[in-house]
Structure 1
């Protein structure tokens, strides 16, 4: 059977993990080196690409940062996502959406297809303090259908009651259709779990195990820092076959006019068809910028 991806052990380019710094040492409001939007970064069959946008947006929306003034988990770089009110691209300017995402997709039908089981893991860092608290619930990870809305997605909230940043997990594939023309689904029915507390000022691991299916044999398993949050059974793809398969988007996507500016760091994204394959997967775009010129075996 032909392999879909090329993998090498992730230990090759880990580099040195920076010593902990005080929160005041980080310059969270300073973007790093802009990521090129004119080229596609490929890993086997998986290309990464960035959204279009105006010049100022490109300078800060998705940047690569290094220490010591930014948090780094492994190697010597991480990605910084910023969603700022007023920055937009194409038709999203009309609806005042803010998008700061990278896209992960393979050839049609090769990855998140009917019956496929996939593992995903990445790490997020939310800056401490009041400055970057969301007032709505932007998406910070979504699996979007080719020709329909996303099914499984992760949202970022702040709970005044819990006095904590929280995550909300959705699966729209199990919810009722509210608009046949746009194929929108009921928001409340789609919620699998909310108010999952997430600390700030340190790296937090996010992990998914998903069986992609238009039938009831699908499932979503979700962990935060290795602690199981939910095991939810049911379809994970829309039954409407014209929607196609799904592909992953990572970063920040705010679908309304809400403020303030939001910042989140990402590092060490991994994916695989098994847990072992995920753990040993490697892509220089995520793991370490110094590995960009090193070949994958």
Structure 2
């Protein structure tokens, strides 16, 4: 009987019905069926956005006002449109769990576990980007909490964090399958710390990742076509649904205004 049940679960997993999460198999103490949810973007293996087409299909906005996130001219090519993010002192946004300074785009798509995926995008820091001694996330792959199991929130598994004039690439995972406080047994790693970033130039980012809470996980990162990260190990939490991508400005409070541009996002299965 047990062998038949295991076979049925595997059939459901790999037939595309999505009724049972792989986290169920990884944690026999939590034999929980994940809720059925649909996220836009799962139908295609390649997804891009062109900032000339606004609003962006499959993306949602978290911004305190219209000025904080809008379409603008490329600072280096007036014929090209890009997304402009601006965050001023005191501008915050209340989300389900926190009220923090932020202006971000986030993709509704949730990445699959145990399937390599690649992300590419460009970011530009103008003179209006201040090198304060504050934590400012410019991109993050945010985990999806299992709300039906009582999880309140999940910190991003992977983040690009500009602190002062350096870019840091950070990874967060946990061996706890259901984490009610988002703190218990968290493993945090700094995978890369850059030289001082240069303003008024585009930075090309490429990230190859296998989202997994097991040893088959990995993260590879290229900046300006030079590889800076080659990490092997856990990259995700044991959740029903994988991480979703966010870009923009999410930072600690500062008296200064921060401005950033982004363009040419691409996501594809490898």
Tell me the TM-score normalised to structure 1 length.
Answer: 0.64
Q: For the residues of structure 2 that align with 1:146 and 1:203, how far apart are their CA atoms? A: 30
**Correspondence for 1:246:** 243
Q: For the residues of structure 2 that align with 1:14 and 1:263, how far apart are their CA atoms? A: 17
Q: 2:100 aligns with which of 97, 108, 114?
A: 97
Matched ranges for 1:117-266 at <5 A? 117-128=116-127, 132-147=130-145, 148-158=154-164, 165-173=165-173, 181-184=180-183, 189-239=188-238, 241=239, 244-254=241-251, 256-266=252-262
- Residue 99 of structure 1, CA deviation: 0.8
Unaligned ranges ≥5, structure 2: 1-14, 17-41, 146-153
CA contact (8 A) 2:51 2:71 kept: no
Higher strand share: 2
- Residue 157 of structure 1, CA deviation: 1.9
Task: Figure out how many residues of one structure are paired with residues of the other and give that number.
Answer: 221
Q: For the residues of structure 1 that align with 2:236 and 2:47, how far apart are their CA atoms? A: 31
Distance 1:72 1:122, change over 3 A: farther
CA contact (8 A) 1:96 1:257 kept: no
Distance 1:186 1:215, change over 3 A: closer
**Correspondence for 2:76:** 71
Matched ranges for 1:1-20 at <5 A? 4-5=43-44
Tell me the TM-score normalised to structure 2 length.
Answer: 0.70
- Residue 185 of structure 1, CA deviation: 6.6
Q: For the residues of structure 2 that align with 1:71 and 1:184, how far apart are their CA atoms? A: 42
Residue 61 of structure 2 is aligned to residue 50 of structure 1: yes
- Residue 90 of structure 1, CA deviation: 2.4
Secondary structure at the aligned position of 1:250 is classed as: strand
Distance 1:172 1:9, change over 3 A: closer
- Residue 259 of structure 1, CA deviation: 3.2
**Correspondence for 1:294:** none
Q: For the residues of structure 2 that align with 1:118 and 1:168, how far apart are their CA atoms? A: 21
- Residue 227 of structure 1, CA deviation: 0.5
Secondary structure at the aligned position of 2:80 is classed as: coil
Matched ranges for 1:18-57 at <5 A? 41-42=56-57, 47-51=58-62, 57=64
Q: For the residues of structure 2 that align with 1:205 and 1:125, how far apart are their CA atoms? A: 9
Provide the aligned C-alpha RMSD in A.
Answer: 3.4
Show CA shifts across 1:61-83 (max 9, x none): 1111125xx3349x521111112
CA contact (8 A) 1:207 1:224 kept: yes
CA contact (8 A) 1:86 1:96 kept: no
**Correspondence for 1:272:** 268
**Correspondence for 1:62:** 69
Which one is further off, 58-67 or 209-218? 58-67
- Residue 149 of structure 1, CA deviation: 1.8
